[in-house]
Amino acid sequence: MNKSAAGASRHGPRDWAWPDGARIAMSIGLAFESFEYKSQYSHYSEPGKKDHFSLSYADYGWKAGVWRLLDLLDGYGLKASMSTNGRAAEDHPHVIRAATDAGHEVVGHGWVNDILMKDDDIEAEIEEIRRVTAALTDAGGVRPVGWVSPGSTGSSNTFDILTSQGYLWHGDDASDDLPFLADTKNGPIVSMPRVNIPANDLIQWIFPTNPPDILWHSFQPTFDELYAEGVAGRPKWVEMTLHCHMAGRPTLIPAIRQCIDHARAHDGVWFARKCEIAQWALDRESA
């Protein structure tokens, strides 16, 4: 039984705790992506035709954006979880090695970001997950334990395949404030809900064409509300999601700094990679 479904009948918030009594957990998610036809930023596209300008926008990620974000995080001593397409790892292994050498987590993210898996081709999905896993492991020297499908849009088979391939957690969910265990044919997997929507550059900045400080104006009240809940004994989790080809541009960096500085000004914040949060959740919920 899916423990999130079981929780639907409960009264009041879930009983939860973080290591050392932290009031809130905070993770930073990077996205290092490749595309077959077009990236998320496109002036015009024709189905089945490559949008070369849009693809060049994505190339900013490996040429400039990822380095700016890695430098930023290094300055704070923070470690991120980087969702990475298999092709991105194959084409730019030096980026993946730099990330893992710095202690960041690399997360499986499909082969390319604009082609999704289908419900009726389980063998193709198994092969893709294996191919991505091998590409990320070869490039970074560390086998991924987390998976986020492109657009968080997996198939009906994804979770069963992930546990059969040794994965600990997935990010294809938006149903809770906290991690929870979900059953699969091969045992439990940790569901890591998308708590990042109020601080996601794609959702808050690119799609609605907001000014760059929207990231701060979305993050700050969200963090403050969740932190207050933690002070009251109901700790929660907040995340920022930063695409290397978007947030890695100089325009958004000041807002990112503002968000991180705000979180760091508070006591009892557990800054963690998602693999650490997932392992904590698995150990806690299994016990």
- Domains assigned to the chain: 17-40+49-286 (3.20.20.370)
| Residue 93 region by backbone torsions, left for phi larger than 0, else alpha for psi between -120 and 50, else beta | alpha
Instruction: Indicate if the pLDDT at residue 154 is higher than 60.
Output: yes
Q: Is 43 exposed, middle or buried (0-12, 13-18, 19+ CB in 10 A)?
A: exposed
> Of the ranges 166-170, 273-277, 283-287, which one carries the lowest mean pLDDT score?
283-287
Provide the token pair at 176. Answer: 């809770």
Is residue 173 within 8 A of residue 217, CB to CB? The reply is no
Provide the 10 A C-beta neighbour count for residue 267: 8
Per-residue pLDDT band for 9 (boundaries 50, 70, 90) equals: very low
In this prediction, residue 2 carries a pLDDT of 47
In this prediction, residue 4 carries a pLDDT of 44
In this prediction, residue 12 carries a pLDDT of 67
Return the half-sphere exposure (C-beta side, CA atoms, 13 A cut-off) of residue 58: 25
Q: What digits encode the pLDDT tens for the residues 110-153?
A: 999 888 888 889 999 999 999 999 999 999 999 999 999 998 88
Is residue 2 within 8 A of residue 183, CB to CB? The reply is yes
In this prediction, residue 11 carries a pLDDT of 57
In this prediction, residue 13 carries a pLDDT of 76
The dihedrals phi and psi of 48, each to the nearest 5 degrees, come to 85, -5
% pLDDT > 90, the chain: 75
Q: Where are the beta strands (DSSP E) in the chain?
A: 24-32, 81-84, 105-108, 146-147, 169-170, 180-184, 187-191, 236-243, 269-271
Q: What digits encode the pLDDT tens for the residues 220-277?
A: 999 999 999 999 999 999 999 999 999 999 999 999 999 999 999 999 999 999 999 9
Helix axes 93-101, 122-140, angle to 10 degrees: 70
Instruction: Indicate if the pLDDT at residue 57 is higher than 70.
Output: yes
- Rounded Cα–Cα distance for residues 154 and 83 (Å): 14
Provide the token pair at 24. Answer: 């809130």
Is residue 117 within 8 A of residue 110, CB to CB? The reply is yes
Rounded mean pLDDT of the chain? 91
